[in-house]
Amino acid sequence: MPLSPKEIVETIRMVEFENLDVRTITLGVSLRDCTAQSASQCAAKVYDKICHTAERLVPVAKQIEAEYGIPIINKRVSVTPVAFLADSFSEEPDEIGLALDRAAKNVGIDFIGGYSALVAKGATPGDKRLIASIPRVLSVTDRVCSSIDLASTKAGINMDMVAQMGQTIKQTAELTQQRDGIGCAKLVVFANMPGDNPFMAGAIHGLEETENVINVGVSGPGVVLEAVRGAGPVPFGKLSEVIKRAAYKITRAGEFVGRRAAQELGVEFGILDLSLAPTPLVGDSVAEILEAMGLSCTGSAGTTAALALLNDAVKKGGAMASSYVGGLSGAFIPVSEDAGMIKAVRCGSLTLSKLEAMTAVCSVGLDMIAIPGDTPAEVISGIIADEIAIGVINNKTTAVRLIPAPGKKSGEWVEFGGLLGRAPVMEINSESPAAFIARGGRIPAPLQGLRN
């Protein structure tokens, strides 16, 4: 349905005064027809297809911005997990990663996601070669993002890959140490990873998707914050209704932009991901919403309950506005990208343990968290295992994006700039889970996975 005049006026107000924006338009591109007998041949096919398919993405997004006055912050592409292509040849897949980066720069997009593998039950030779290449590729590319799905409620947790990813994250940080380990900001580990998520670093074009599709990620923490503040000290049932109405408006505006972009590009509209994705700007923070509910500081007692209410209300409001809500959809709690989260860490209210508890009720997981650079790989693997277990047992998506900041200790800072922001290096429990991680194998799927 087109936006009504009243909705147009409300949208303009939300853009001008409440930081509403479309965080990303992400064009999904299938690479399943790009297999070849050598890495160089495959890379050439990948480059040509992305350049041809996505050549109009940025101009169309700018046209929509100018036409409707709704900012579109990022223009992105997601592709079929590259590990599937890597099984068609025996060489290292680095050339494909380089081709992805060149293609992204050629068409002018901000990021390209899909240098990825799905290994919840096990890894093929192509999966293993791709995972081994991740530190190298992320250290020499600017716009390539990588994700590994290593667990699901149906399959359990691949602990061999959990151990491997601890090493991979360490190596990536070391190879990008001149920029505070920024390569790790482009690398995320998942349980129950969706194939239609438009947000980086975890965006892929899932195997169940059509040839090309537009997925939109809309963000409105500022809109929800103003709604909560305006509601005053109402009971929780009323507060939930207030948040639902705000989420409804955000979703309507986002789907309108997504469908318009899909129409202009001649591709299908996929989903609207209505995640509340914060930025370092004051007033565009999920933590500030929680504090507007009555918490003295995010991380205090009551924080998990407040986040649960927020996440549930956002999903309900979005589902009322669109039949095609997908991706992650809810509230993100990245430390470096949220001014309120940063403040809560600095004052000691928000700890890694509290963040882990919060992830049981929010959209993603431990996101954009800087940890001491000397953290052992097995400790990183243990943190991954804990967070992934929350997703597997609760049949939800969870993810881990940790940055071991080279040469930095807890209390120091890392600087990434832009939407990635800055973050304090958080203190972690350094007791070793090495013997636990070394067991290897697969933690079996929970009883919840037996749904047939």
pLDDT, tens only, 186-195:
999 999 999 9
What tokens appear for 62 in the block? 């700018």
Helix or strand holding residue 47 (H, E): helix 39-53
Task: Identify the weakest region by mean pLDDT among 17-31, 69-83, 210-224.
Answer: 17-31
To the nearest whole percent, how much of the chain has pLDDT over 70? Answer: 94
CATH 3.20.70.20 region(s) of the chain?
Answer: 26-191, 216-437
Let me know if domain 216-437 sits in CATH 3.40.50.1370: no
Residue 32 pLDDT exceeds 70: yes
pLDDT of 137 strictly over 60: yes
CA distance 269 to 88: 30
pLDDT of residue 322: 86
The CA distances from residue 243 to 23, 195, 256, 281, 302, in Å, are 19, 27, 20, 21, 18
> Structure tokens of 91?
């060489």
Q: How far is residue 10's CA from residue 327's CA, in Å, rounded to a whole number?
A: 25
Please check the confidence at residue 3 and state whether its pLDDT lies above 70.
Answer: no
Q: Assign 363 a pLDDT band (cuts: 50, 70, 90).
A: confident
Nearest CA-CA partner of 117 in 150, 79, 142, 92: 150
Cα(72)–Cα(65) distance, rounded to whole angstroms? Answer: 6
* Beta strands per DSSP E along 350-439: 366-372, 398-405, 413-417, 421-424
Please tell me the distance from the alpha carbon of residue 176 to that of residue 4, in angstroms, as a whole number.
49
CA of residue 309 relative to chain centroid, distance: 21
Domain 26-191 has CATH 3.20.70.20: yes
pLDDT of 364:
79
Strands (E) in 229-363, as ranges, are: 268-273
> Cis link prior to 123 (omega < 30° from 0)?
no
Residues 270 and 205: beta-carbon distance below 8 Å: no
Cα-based distances in Å from 173 to 136, 333, 383, 407, 427? 11, 22, 16, 10, 17
**What is the pLDDT confidence band of residue 346, given thresholds at 50, 70 and 90?**
confident
| Phi, psi values for residue 152, rounded to 5° | -155, 160
pLDDT at 321: 84
Q: Is 336 left (phi over 0), alpha (psi -120 to 50) or beta?
A: alpha
CA 169 – CA 375 distance, rounded (Å): 11
How far is Cα 342 from Cα 358, in angstroms, rounded to an integer? 15
Q: Closest by alpha carbon to 81, among 17, 138, 30? A: 30
Token pair 């990588």 is at which residue?
A: 146
Q: Is the pLDDT at 284 greater than 80, yes or no?
A: no
Q: Per-residue b/e over 131-150, b at no fewer than 16 CB within 10 Å?
A: bbbbbbbbbebebbbbbbbb
For residue 11, what pLDDT is reported? 58
- pLDDT score at 451: 77
Residue 336 confidence class, pLDDT cut points 50, 70, 90:
confident
CA distance 87 to 125: 7
Q: Is the pLDDT of residue 21 over 80?
A: no
12 has a pLDDT exceeding 70: no
Query: What integer pLDDT is reported at residue 250 of this predicted model?
Result: 84
Residues in the chain: 452
pLDDT at 359 over 90: yes
Give 65-98 pLDDT, tens digit per residue: 888 888 898 999 999 999 999 999 999 999 999 9
**Whole-number pLDDT of residue 411:** 87
* Residue 17: per-residue pLDDT: 47
Task: Give me Rg for the CA atoms of the chain.
Answer: 21
pLDDT in tens, 373-411: 999 999 999 999 999 999 999 999 999 999 999 999 988
The residue that leads in pLDDT, 375 or 330, is 375
Residue 251's pLDDT band (cuts 50, 70, 90):
confident
Distance CA 126, CA 395 (A): 28
DSSP secondary structure letter of residue 2 = P
